[in-house]
Chain A
Amino acid sequence: MLLALAYLAAFLALPPLLLGIVNRVKSRFAGREGPPPWQLYADLARLLRKGAVYSRTTTWVFRAGPVVGLAAVATAGLLTPFGGAPAAIGFAGDFVLFAYLLGLARFFTVLAALDTGSSFEGMGAAREVTFSSLAEPALFLCLMTLARATGSLSLGGMFGPALPLAWGRAAPALLLTAIALFVVALAENARIPVDDPNTHLELTMIHEVMVLDHSGPDLALILYGASLKLFLFGALFVRLVLGFPVEGLAGLAMFLAGLAGFAALVGVIESIMARLRLVRVPQLLVGASVLSAFGLVLLLR
């Protein structure tokens, strides 16, 4: 129980550090010193002390966007099994709720962007919706493969004790699933082959353009929510790749090391790859879907 609380505390406290590691790896690759890994904490503290500016054209939807977004992602965190600990809440079929809580967060971000009435934000919203509608089948196919491999319908069971057995029986299928899950994680978190989180004045940006009009505490909530989401996907990926739950403090340490490795991997990919052209992004996501579908086919025969 105490350990489960430790995992939950890590989930709430560490995500900004994850983004810090990504940025650190990227700046090292570019030969720069880079900001300290805890930079995002400072940013969040600064933003929280500011006031927010609201346009007169916006309604309550605009203000609700960041709050609902953060709340939905945090609730999805309650369903996620971290490392060795079981999820705080778990029931058969909770992976559907998990996927749609993330969908709800995205939906409200999109609504808030549309609520500003800015055509630029509308463009970003359209792109976000298009690409996430392609990422969602890939995510569901990954989860279905896992459900089939472990014979469980809840996230806690899929990433639980049955996983090592599944790795022994169907390693290739799970490997394909892991690759597809990683691509989905990059797409959902607006990382580089799909979207560049660091640009702010380009016509190809997707996620960043939707949050341009948020300021102060609202922006802090959005940044924090985005890092939570990266942490969630990282947790699933690390759990899948590590393959076995390790009990106790060793498990916690291993899980956190795995997450740091995940962040470093994301950083390396962002450093060595260029962002794809927008027309190529669906190709990547459909490719991920096809890969995970192939994994499922391998398991079904």
Chain B
Amino acid sequence: MSAWTEMVFILVVVLDFFLLASSRLKAVIRAAAAQGALLAVLPLLLASHAAELGHVLALSVGALVVKGVVIPWLLLWAIREAAIRREVEPIVGFIPSLILGGLGVALAFAFSSAMPLPTPEKHDFIVPTALSTVWTGLLLVVSRRKAVSQVIGFLVLENGVFVFGLLLSDFMPTMVEAGVLLDLFAAVFVMGIVMFHINREFSSLDTEKLSALKD
């Protein structure tokens, strides 16, 4: 059982690397969806006693539906409707961002055990995986030029926060998790619509051009 949990955590981190290195927009969206679906398995694997089964099940189904199905579908719909080209166009190149990601992951795994936590860890890999995924999300948000890639970065960032939240899943009511998921969903939904409209008005989703705006 523990070996499987470890495998899921490691797959999540490997998907982080893939997200940083891939240049295909569709592949990136699919990878983010796969990561979300993998995260949905974690609450079930980490559940410690049977009493919280309902809570855990709600958490996992919610994550699977929102992160694994609805948001990726929305993003794929957005790039189809806005006819976005498939290239990602990074500001920081793929190899530097991959190396930065690798450094972040190494630091996360090296120093996470030094972090004081209010609750006992359920699994050794929760904190380093969460930190790595948050770091990956940040890198994606900062270093990508197109709005869609930035949305994916935001999604990955939230995935990291979700992993961190697993630490507290015993104490946190389902409502809070549901609220966070809803927030994420609303954010991506709004961004999807905004992207669609920006694209129709200005024929480009390049956020670099926004900095050239003058009144």
Contacts and interface: CB of A to CB of B under 8 A. Distances in A.
Interface string A155-182: 0000000000000000110001000000
B14 interface: yes
B66 interface: no
Interface stretch (B33-41, B91-99, B139-147, B175-183): B91-99
Contacts of B113: 301
B98 A283 contact: yes
Contacts of A171: 3
A290 B99 contact: yes
Contact of A297 (B14, B17, B94, B110): B110
Given A171-B3, A297-B106, A297-B109, A283 B94 contact: yes
Q: How large is the interface on A (under 10, 10 to 19, 20 to 34, 35 or more residues)?
A: 10 to 19
B6 interface: yes
Interface residues of B, number: 20
B151 to A, nearest CB: 23
Question: Main SS of the interface on chain A?
Answer: helix
B102 interface: yes
Contacts of A301: 109-110, 113, 128
A106 to B, nearest CB: 22
A238 interface: no
A171 B99 CA distance: 24
Nearest to B11: A172
A294 B102 contact: yes
A287 interface: yes
A49 to B, nearest CB: 47
B95 A283 contact: yes
Contacts of B3: 171
Nearest to B101: A290
Interface string A261-301: 00000000000000000000011001101110110011011
Nearest to B18: A287
B7 A287 contact: no
Interface string B54-65: 000000000000
Interface string B6-32: 110010011001000100000000000
Contacts of B126: none
B88 interface: no
B14 A291 contact: yes
B36 to A, nearest CB: 21
A283 B110 contact: no
Contact of B102 (A283, A290, A300): A290
Contact of B10 (A172, A282, A286, A287): A172
B105 interface: yes
Contacts of A176: 10, 14
A301 B114 CA distance: 11
Contacts of B94: 283
B185 to A, nearest CB: 31
Residue from A176, A293, A297 having most chain B Cβ neighbours under 10 A: A297
B6 A290 contact: no
Contact of B105 (A286, A289, A297, A300): A297
A176 B105 CA distance: 15
Contacts of B6: 172
A172 B95 contact: no
Nearest to A300: B110
A159 to B, nearest CB: 23
A286 B94 CA distance: 10
Interface of B: 3, 6-7, 10, 13-14, 17, 21, 94-95, 98-99, 101-102, 105-106, 109-110, 113, 128
Given A172-B10, A287-B17, A297-B106, 5 more contacts: A176-B10, A290-B101, A291-B17, A293-B106, A298-B10
The 5 closest A-B pairs by CB, nearest first: A290-B102, A172-B10, A297-B109, A297-B106, A286-B95
